[in-house]
A and B are shown apart, each in its own frame.
Chain A
């Protein structure tokens, strides 16, 4: 039997997802052995036209990382969709928009103006901005267009599976590859990671009091947290309750609260909204004597940048999507 054809592609990526593949170490040799990699721009010399020449559905699976930031990327992922049996969104940026998705809080013009005009090191009296086309003495130079907003992969094409995390851990990558090769896949649209929330997995979860109460809100640099207590109990925002498990509590083991890179669990539609309600419930808004409404409001107001924190990795795919425009 012919080996399954596999493609890797990156859009607006930091390269961390590509490193995650290299970090499979010896296991990568197993993957290379079991499949036929037909496209991997960072490693192999297959071109756009090689993909175009393939039959529809000829690629068994395409793994795509990075957010969608320009039309060129849109075009390629559409092509890959056509040629692939399965498409897996690889990593937070592709899954939910990721950190580059925070750009959706700002408009395109503001981003360009800051970079090329008002940054303190820039000397640009003629207010030159990068142009789609520039006539040089020798000929024309072109650049692709920086789009209005950042999108997650499934806002551009149909996605079969999601591999969460920034970057996804090696065991989940191997698990996904094995499941695909063995045809042992869950229902379409599944996230290939455990179902429970991070709190259910967290080493600090066991010591969590029966009724967790958050008396105050602190920021990470303001206190030294007890390495065994739940962060929320200490007043530090931890996205554990609204985040899927499967990362081996990596940040928490380093004594830092979760920022939600694995995205929401299955039941949760919107990670940020879920987190906001989780906080509201432990602030004791439901009749805790020691909390007046004013006091609760005061505490909530202490959350610095709630939107940017609750939607750290998921803004483009959230109910908010982008900043409201006038």
Chain B
């Protein structure tokens, strides 16, 4: 999705102003003219100046429209597939702890693979294999405490 540069310019200006505002509350370094607030303030200034230039640039090409979607994005199916990738990560953040790594990934990955147009049997096989291999490698060999969830105590 392409947005007009001016949109980004405005976002960066807002970001710069916020940074300067928050940074003004940082305590000064005793006996020094420069402290914790220096870099954030400079960066905030940089965001405002560059954001302004970007706005100027966007304004010049405003005839091109404020937003333009990639042709691939116009297909509704593609958009859903992309959103599903994000939803899968969000769901992991929210539910992996109660559900557990293995059951969560096995189900989520199967669904994603099916959605991407794989046939059911290969999708299930790849999902199970990936889940088991990643659990074995990260959970067993590298000792990462992957959440066990509902399988607590089983293995």
A joins B in a complex? no
